[in-house]
Every structure is written in C-alpha cells, then in structure tokens.
Amino acid sequence: MSRFTRRNFLRGTLGATLALPAFASMGPRASAQEASPRFLVYFLPNGRRPEHWVPTIVDGDLRFPAGSPLQRHASRCLAIDALDNIAARESPGAAHAMGTGTCMTSTRIMNDELRSPSNNISVDQLIAGTVGGGGVSSLQWAAGEPGPCDVGGSSCAYTQSISWSGVGRNLGPTIDPASAFERLFGTNVEGRTGELAEIRRRTRRSVLDFVQEDATRLRGVLSTDDQRSLEQYFESVRELERGFETDTTGCMVDGDIARALPYAERVEAFNRLIELAFRCDVTRVISFMIEFGLSSRSHDFLDAPGNHHALSHYGSTEQRNRLDIVERWQGEQLANLLDRLANTRDAMDRPLLDETAVVVVPSMGIGASHNHGRLAPLVFGGTRLFQTDGRLLHFGAGSEALLADFHVALLRAYGLDGTYGRNGAVFGDYGTSALSGVVR
Amino acid sequence: MYVALAASIAFGCTGSIGGSDLDPSVTPAADPTNPPPPLHRLNRLEYERSLGAVLGYPVSVLERLPPDAAIDGLDNMAEALVMTPTLLDAYWRVAEVTTREAFDETPAFAQAFGTDAFVSERGYVIGDLWALFGGESVVTFSVATGGAGTLNMDLGGLITGSVDAPIVEIELDGVQIFSDAIVAMPGTPRSVSLPVDLAAGEHTILFRPTNFVNMAAGNTANNIVVGALNVRSDALVPGPGRQLLACAAPVASVECTREVLGRFLSRAFRRSDDDVLDQYAALHAQLLDEGEGWQEATRLVLRAALVSPRFLYRARRSDDVESAESLDARLIASRLSYFLWSASPSPRLLAAAESGELASAEGIERTVDWMLAEESAEGLDLGFAQQWLSTRGLALAARDAEEHPHFDTAKDAMAAESTELFRAFRSEPMPLADMLAPGFGFLNASLARHYELPMPSGDGAVMQRVPSERSGILSLGAWLVTHSDSEHSSPIMRGRWVAEQVLCDPVPPPPPGLVFDGFAIEEGLSVREQLERHRDSDVCASCHERLDILGIGFEGFDEGGRIIDVEDTRGLVPGSREPFENAAELAALLDREAFVRCVGSKLLAYALGRPLGAFDVAALDAIVAQVGPEAQFRDLAVAIAQSAPFRSPPDEPAEEESP
C-alpha cells in the first residue's frame, strides 16, 4: 500500500480498461518503504536585503518583514538567522560566482580553480542518489538567460549552476520551460500512438543500447584521461533511458507550455512545472534558479528598471526602492509556488508541500556588501523531516553557525549518514556535524 | 595558497599598456610541455553548424540547447564542455526533430501572417485580429517557387446598432478574388479559402471595406476583422534532406542502406571507418526486424549517429597516425575546421587531409587561405567575434523608450556593427591593429538614427566613413551597451571590458572574504566622486583604481552607446601617465603589437579550445614575433594553425622509473 503512488491511484480510478504495466515504471530505485519527501532548492541571485528578508519571532510567531508575501507560509517555515558560508568567504572574491557556486556545495574554490569549473558534489545531488520514487534522478531549471559572468575571469559555471554532480561537473539548467515540459510530459512516443508507439518504444531502446556499445568501442581508443571524461556521457545516456521508462500517462496534465515566453511568464511556467514534476512523480529532486547568479535583468515590467545587480549595490534611495520591488516580486513568485504546492494533494491525499522540502537560498547574506557571513536560508514544508513549523533558529551576530553544517543537516534528514567531504569533512570542505534544530 | 594569492594581487593590479609578461589571463602550468588535445564536446554553435554541414543545409537549433559555460569569455573551452543528462536529452530531441524535418514533405510555399503584416492608414490590432476600420489594408509577401495554392483567413463582422453587414472586397495583385458581406461574428468567424495561382516573386493582398459606417452619435458601426491569414501551396515538395537518402542501388536494398549510411557517417564522424559502418548497418537491420520501415529505420540510425560521442566529441585517438611534426591529418582537419568555421570539415578539407596537404606548414597556409575565403568562415564572426566584442548580451538589453526612442530598432544593427567590422578585417588585407581606428564603420538606417548620424544609403549594415569618435572597436555600440546599466553607463564594467578584451590585462578577482560596508547613500555625487569611494579601502583601491579611471574615459557614451556631451571624461590607462578623453584618443595611445598579441592570445585559446598554459605562451611569443605589429588577421590565423600547440603531437609524459 505504501507504494501506491498517485499515478497508480489514477489508473485505478480511471478504470480497468486501461492496460497499463502496473508498477513497471516504478524503477529499481523505488524502495519498499515510503519515499522520502521531495527536495527542491530555490535559488535567489544578488543576495538579499536582510531587513526585507529575514523573519523574527513576534509574540511566539514567525513574522516576516512587513509586506512580505512569504508571511502566508510562515507556519510551514523554518528560518535560520544566519549562517556563515565559509566556503564562499575563503574562495576568491568573485562574490557572486562563489556565493552561487558554493551555496549547495560548501566547497572552497582555490584561486587557480576560478577560471575552469572545479567545485564538488552538491547536497541535492547526494540526495538525488538516494531518494526513492521518481523517474529521473534530478532536474535543474532556471528562468533566466545567461548574462555576464563574474570578475577575475570566473568560469560562468559558478554563476550558472548550483547543482554539481562532482568535481568540475556543473549541471547546467534547462532555461526553456517548453523544452522542460516536452521532456517530462510528452503524451505520445515521438508523435506515434498505439502499436506504432510500442514499436518505437522498443526501437528507441535498441538505438540507445547501440549508442552505448558504440561509445564503449570509442572509449577503447581514447587516452585514460579522455576515458574518464567520457564517463559523463555514459551516465547521461543511462539517465536518458530512465527518463524514457518513466510513464506519466496516468497523471493529469492540462495544457502544454508555449515557447519563447517573456521572463515573468517563464517563472510562472516553471512554478507550474515544479508542481507537475513532483505531483506526477517524474523526479524527487529539483534545483531551480529564478535567475542566474549576478543577474543583470532590468525589471521594466515592474516599473523597476535598472540592472538588478547594480541595484543590489544601490547608491540612491530610488535605486534602493527599485531593489525592494524586485526582491519583493521574487518573494511573491516563491510564495506563489508554495501556494501551488500547499493546494495540491499527493497520492496519500496530503498537501504536496508537506511532502516537499523547499530550501530557499540566496547567493549571499547581504548583496550590497557581498556578505557571505550572514546567509539566511529558509526551509518550507517537508514536515516529516524538518522542523518547519514557524520556527526561527537564531544565531546572534558573531556566531559561528555554518552553512556547511546546515548542508550536513539536510543530508542527515534524508538518511545520508556517511562522510562525503574532503580532508575529513563530512560534507564539502567545512561540514562536520549536522546543525541542530533543523531535522525533526 | 595564501602566498600565491597575495602575489597575484600584488602584481595583478599594477599592469601596463598592453599587458605584461605576467599576463594574469594565462594559467601558469607546472611544466611547459605541450599537452594533448583534450576530448572536446561540440558547443552549441559548433553543434548547430556541424549538423548543418552533415545534413547539407543550414539548421536553426541553438534555442533548443542549453547554454555552454564560458572560460575567459569563450564558450568553446573543452574543460567547461561537460555532458549532462539535460544536454543529452536536448541532443536527442534535436536529432529527432531534425531527421523528421529533413525528410517529411512540406508545402512548396507556406506563410502565415500576423497582425504586423498588415499595412494601412486606418486599421488597428485587436489581439490576434486585424480590424480594417474602413480603410484599405495591404499585405505583401513573396514566394520562392510558384504554383497553385490557397489563401486562407477568418473574417468576422463587428456590427453595432442598426446598420448593414459590412462588405469586404479582396484583391490579389490588383485582381478581385472575393467580395461579400460578412455577417459572422468575430468569435465564430467565417473561414474563407480562396484558390490562388502564384508566380515566384512578390504578391500583394488588398482588403477593401466598401460600406463602412462609424457614427458615434448613433452608436452604429460595421467594422471587419481579419484573422489567421495564411497562404500555402497545394503541391508538396520533399524535405530538404531528401538527397541524404539518395542512392545508386535499388531503394531500400541493403546496398542502398550502406551507401546512405557510409556517406552520412563519414561526414558526421569526420573520418571513414568500415568497422563503424558495419555496426551502424547492423543496427539498421535490427530495427527493420523490430518492425520499423526502411526510411524510419534509416532516420533512427542517423539519430543514433547524431547522439554518438563520435559526432558530439572531437577526440585524439590512440590509433591516430602521427609524425614527430604533426598530429593525425584528420585531427588537424577537424581542428582547422572548428577554428575557422565552427563546423565539421567539408569533403574538400577531408580530401586535403587524405592527400597529405596538412602535413606541412606550407600546406596549412594554403588551406587556411582557402578556408577563410569560404562562406563558412562566418563561423569566426559567430563564434569568436560575437564573444570577443560582447554582442550576445544585446538581445536582452532594454532601454527607456522615451530616452532612447530608436534603441529597439537599432539593436540588431548594433550587433552587426561589431561583427561586420570584424568580418571586414578577417576577410580583407588590412592590418588588424587598424581595427582600433579604421575610419569606417557599419551602419544601417536604424543605427544611424539612433547614433544621430547622417542616413546611409542602401539597406543592411553598410560600410561607410564615420567620425573618428565613432570609429573602431573602442566605440562599438554593442559592448558599450552590454557594459552599462539600463539607465546609466558603468565605468567599472567598461573599464573591465577594455582591460580584458583590448589590453589583455584583466584585473584579478577581489581577495577571499572581502566584505565591504555598503556605501552610505549620498545623493548628488558626480560619477568620479562615486567611484572615488572605492579608494576608501586599500583592498578595493588596488584594482578599482585601474578599472574606474579607465572606464571614465568612456563616459562620453551614454547607456545606449550614443555620444553625449559630458564634462568629465578624463580616463587613464593603468600604468600610463597619458590621459585620454575619448575612444579615439585611447586608440592612438595603444601599442599596435600589444594589440595584435592580445587578439592573438584570444584567438589561440579559441583555436585550441583551452585556456593558454606555459607552453602556449611561448608559442604565442613566437607567433607575434613572426607576424609583427602590422599583421593581418589572415597572418595570425596562419601562424596559429602552424604553431606547435595547434598541430604538433603532445609531449609524452616522462617515463616513470620502475622500482
């Protein structure tokens, strides 16, 4: 009964006439126990203004700054004020690249690693390797377009990826929601239905098997280093196959997503996709960037023109007011997503938000001063694992609570009890023990 | 670590004109040996152009691929070109769509017209619909091939009050083809399909309402709306890739399969290999067994090839044939092709490799010359120039419509202004360093209007004389705009651009852990005063001093790249005492050989697909010495293609001694 996902539930209610391979698509990774809650990382660029971002406790309740749209979900929130992203602080001072690149890795970037992607595995990718359910192991999406990259010749990978599957392996996000939708919810097999679709399912598998054999033969004539590089290719083919084996036909999806949407509608489309992907159990782990790090979008549609990054270093009241508009709007998009998740039920008829841990992380604590030492992440939902009941974990100024230990707490919540870091660290280069007060 | 970092800061921000021997853009390698060519995934541009080369016609798939991460401002660096599930999924889909479109029959002509296609004195737009509002409206279009077809549209009448149903006459090239009263409401319009017979060339559709009434006082009107206007031929023509399936052997025979696949694979994989052909032919046979038809099976095999690492990656293989002088000729061909064309080698280039032409320095020189003369050399404009001259961010740039009324219409021309300037220098025998102050530029009418310059004659970006303050790479609109905020210029970003792209003397990143107190808001400071607040801190000052005073010299350009009258534009090149007031004065200060070296270093990294290491820097010295300060682009390209990092086999790692 615990394996009774929404997909199978829908099949049951739609009637026995649908001849579907029950449970076949659950894949080998589905565990006998109920799957862990889904995991979403929600990234915000250019740091924040703490006075508009960080909640406090008022009369025993978690209270966001006045006017914050996140107040609607305060009772499902765990706020942390604040953590030290020591990895970013000890990496070169390309603050946006380092703040973005390390926000889920806690890995220090050495000076000579700035120009070429280095880094190390991120929290979401470790979790992706263990959670049950779902088709593809993880998805990476971003609503922004790639813009300028950070100073000192920083590799763009640091500002454009928060998910890393290993050293030098940044998982570049999909930026077109229409492509993302097509990949997950295409309703037919390459335009075919019925028997022809069955043939294509078979031959598609044959083609991918062949491609892997062909790649294996090529690997035999490559140098050792290049063989290692080609491993990424093999992993990707296997993930592609897993995606094909995932069947979303039983999950109600209405309407597709248009191409070439303007920015604000892309954000909305991704909000919808996140809900769909989790509801339909297409994956259990997503990382989403509302913009890439160092975003320089001019939010003309909010009547808040001016490069967002430049506004984050406001030099006038007018610029600061515009920054507030941009930050509030981004908060509103996040709150809209939380609304969606709260109002959707999972297969066990629970609010999807309760079964989804949403970890919100800005690139920096304070954008204006490039401060990595006062990073204030938020966790929403995922109530089985996290103390997300309107709580504030308050560490005063000068405390040494580490983002890296928060990362360890996230891993521990998902049952990852091992050591994943370098040089004796449990995670990244700095995580030693789970930050207390996070895990339920 | 700390020692190294401190050292880099110490020397990093004390450069001089044209860079120094301690060029911080160059990673010092532990030992100056020639490293092996890395396994190199095609980036999105290379993928798109290679796909076009393999299919035999251009394709447009960039939008379907996720962006590649750049290193040192170039997105063809092997290290950054990782493979991810998201990317492979995109390749898989592009291969599916492309092989479908290649062979499916399509109408000989088919065009749909949105509301922007209508030209009229009176008409207006209602959502997707065009309202005639009593005036004649004209739509002009042209077809490449003629033939019979249909003109389709939805017509609706907006009738208010007691009035006759509106009548519309439709003419095609002056001949009436329709005339009727429209009683259908716009929500449930009347679909009209009119047979037409079009000759190749231009055609005009005219809509004429004949009994229009619009009386506000009586609240009566009879307007007509037109929607979903399109024209398509009756005849279908084979898809553009049809010739890929052509064969001398009987259609769908085993021999035909081998012929088709052999031709395709040698092109896609940049080498012929009978074993590989056997394996792909066996896959074809298997797919037939599994129930696919011959053509579908062929498409699937082509798709397999297009996601194979043999297509997606360039690789040096252990079975490559190499001499002491030169890498395998096929590998050289491939490197030349991606360097100069951003695409896979053509049959002519592969033949040159087979013939031994690429084994000598002279043969490489001849080859580079004819390659640069081919249309494919536009790959350099799209790959190299777009990045070097920062045109790619323009599409996203937005400016206030009142302040910059002509900005939107000038954006494309602004990108062309940069790439056409580069194109002129890569294709004409002119010294590369003249790019700093060539005396000419490329403008079309839109850009001239935006810059407030005299209108050029003719369409498109036209080469013409321009004032000195508008001439050369230092005054190109694209980088000036992409390195500005939307409402004001940014001396910091512009200083950084000039330091990185023209002086090749970039500043290092700020030191670890740098936190600065947010500046207190002080209204009414001048740009220079605002920037001078960077000097409050020694740490900030060391680098900003260089960026800021360099960037201030460009304050004579506003955030839209237009020349404006500003009092304080006194810039200074780091390490120099000579001030400059504008781009032209800076151009005159710069050393020509240093500029050639700077472009050469970027071009060498681009050609190699890796950031330069110690071995490459020695080669760069030799290249610059060889071509001299008056080098043409072509000289630089030849010297790079002949250089050891580009064509010599790597130094073998020293043998490890056995214990």
Locate tokens 């700054």: which residue?
A65
Average confidence (pLDDT) over A127-134: 79
- Is A305–B510 a contact, with Cβ atoms under 8 angstroms apart? no
| pLDDT tens per residue across span B85-129 | 889 999 999 999 999 999 888 888 889 998 889 998 888 888 778
**What's residue B236's pLDDT?**
87
Q: Which residues of B touch A317 (CB under 8 A)?
A: 521, 523
Residue B67 has pLDDT above 90, yes or no: no
Nearest alpha-carbon partner for B579 in B553, B556, B558: B553
Size of interface A-B (CB pairs under 8 A): 254
How far is the C-alpha of B95 from the C-alpha of A357, rounded, in Å?
Answer: 36
Region B350-366: mean pLDDT is 96
B187 pLDDT more than 60: yes
Task: Note whether A197 contacts B: Cβ–Cβ < 8 A.
Answer: no
Please, which residues bridge with residue B155 across strands? Answer: B190, B226
Entry field: residues in chain B: 659
Region A180-187 average pLDDT: 77
Q: What is the pLDDT of residues B485-517, one digit of tens each?
A: 888 899 999 999 999 999 998 888 888 877 776
Residue B478, Cβ density class (10 Å: 0-12 exposed, 13-18 middle, ≥19 buried): buried
Q: Does A216 touch chain B (CB under 8 A)?
A: no
Beta-sheet pairing, A285-289 with A139-142: parallel
Checking if the pLDDT of A92 tops 80, the result is yes
What contacts A75, CB < 8 A, 6 or more positions away? A62, A389, A390
- Is residue B593's pLDDT more than 90? yes
pLDDT band (50, 70, 90) for residue A3? very low
Higher pLDDT, A242 or B176: B176
- Quote the Cα angle for B500-B505-B506, to 5°: 55
A96-155 residues touching B, CB cutoff 8 A = 110-112, 114-117, 136, 139-140, 145-155
Q: Which residues of B touch A110 (CB under 8 A)?
A: 1
- Across chain B, mean pLDDT equals 88
What average pLDDT does range B245-273 have in this prediction? Answer: 93
> pLDDT at position B21, please?
38
Q: Which of B89, B292, B513 sits opposite A183 (nearest CB)?
A: B89
pLDDT recorded at residue B658: 46
B289 min Cα distance to partner chain A (Å): 10
- Of B238 and A425, more confident: A425
A76-85, A165-174, B383-392, B605-614: range with lowest mean pLDDT: A165-174
pLDDT at B1: 25
CA gap A62, A56 in Å, rounded = 6
Residues B59-86, mean pLDDT to the nearest whole number: 89
Mutate which: B83, B84, B523, vs A, most A CBs within 10 A:
B84
pLDDT score, position A133: 65
Confidence check: pLDDT of A247 > 50: yes
Give dist(CA A214, CA A365) in Å, integer.
48
d(CA B265, CA B279): 11
pLDDT of res. B114: 87
- Chain B residues in contact with A89 (beta carbon < 8 A): 512-513
pLDDT in tens, A379-406: 999 999 999 999 999 997 777 899 999 9
Check: CB of residue A98 under 8 Å from CB of residue B513: no
| pLDDT tens digits for range A307-361 | 899 899 888 899 999 999 999 999 999 999 999 999 999 878 899 999 999 999 9
Q: CB A217 to CB B279 under 8 A?
A: yes
Q: Do B85 and A314 touch (CB under 8 A)?
A: no
pLDDT at A7 over 50: no
pLDDT at A134: 62
Q: Which of A77-91, A149-163, B515-529 has the lowest mean pLDDT?
A: B515-529
Kindly give the residue spans of alpha helices, DSSP state H, lying in A287-384: 308-312, 317-343
- What was the pLDDT predicted at A249? 67
d(CA B395, CA B478): 10
Q: Which residue has the tokens 């003369």?
A: B373
Cis bond upstream, residue A82 (ω within 30): yes
The pTM of this model reads: 0.80
What the block records as the tokens of B183 is: 């009683």
For residue B127, the model assigns a pLDDT of: 77
> Quick one: pLDDT at residue A186?
67
Q: Decide if A179 touches B, using CB distance below 8 A.
A: yes
Q: Please give the Cα distance from A376 to A56 (Å, whole number).
A: 12
Q: Quick check: B510 and A298 CB within 8 A?
A: no
**pLDDT bracket for residue A11 (50, 70, 90):** very low
Read off the pLDDT of residues B425-454 as tens digits, 9 standing for 90 and up: 999 999 999 999 999 999 998 999 999 988
Mean pLDDT along residues B327-347: 95
Please list, residue by residue across B254-293, b when 16 or more beta carbons sit within 10 angstroms of its beta carbon and e when fewer do. eebbbbbbbbbbbbbbbbeeeebbebbbebbebbbeeebe
Q: CA-to-CA distance for A91 and A114, rounded, in angstroms? A: 9
For the segment A292-303, the average pLDDT, to the nearest whole number, is 92
Distance between A386 CA and the closest CA of chain B, angstroms:
30
Nearest-CA neighbor of A276 among A135, A90, A71? Answer: A135
pLDDT over 70 (residue A174): yes
CB-count exposure of residue A95 (10 Å: 0-12, 13-18, 19+):
buried
Nearest CA in chain B to A158: B69
Element (H, E) at B226: strand B220-233
Averaged pLDDT for residues B217-235:
88
Spatial CA neighbour of B354 closest among B324, B321, B377: B321
Residues 6+ apart with CB under 8 A from B21: none
DSSP state of B511: P
Q: How far apart are CA B293 and CA A210, in angstroms?
A: 18
Q: Which of A279-293, B12-26, B445-459 has the lowest mean pLDDT?
A: B12-26
Q: How far is CA B82 from CA A208, B202, B333, B335, B497, in A?
A: 20, 47, 23, 19, 27
DSSP, collapsed to helix, strand or coil, labels residue B211 as coil
B406: pLDDT strictly greater than 80? yes
Confidence of residue B7 (pLDDT cuts 50, 70, 90): very low
Query: Chain-centre distance of CA B391, in angstroms?
Result: 8
Q: How do the residues of chain A divide into helix, strand and coil, expressed in percent and rounded to 5?
A: 40, 15, 45
In percent, the amount of chain B with pLDDT more than 70 equals 93
- Strands (DSSP E) along A216-262, which ranges? none
* Contact residues, A window 296-335, toward B, CB-based 8 Å cutoff: 297-298, 300, 305-307, 310, 313-317, 320
pLDDT score at B278: 97
Q: Which residues contact A182 (CB under 8 A, 6 or more apart)?
A: A256, B93
In eight-state DSSP terms, residue B514 is -
Q: Say whether B41 sits in a helix, a strand or coil.
A: strand
Single-letter amino acid, residue B432: L
What is the structure's pLDDT at A220?
Answer: 94
Closest by CA position to B564, among listed B656, B488, B485: B488
Which of A165, A179, A222 has its CB closest to that of B39? Answer: A222
Cα separation, A360 vs A213, whole angstroms: 41
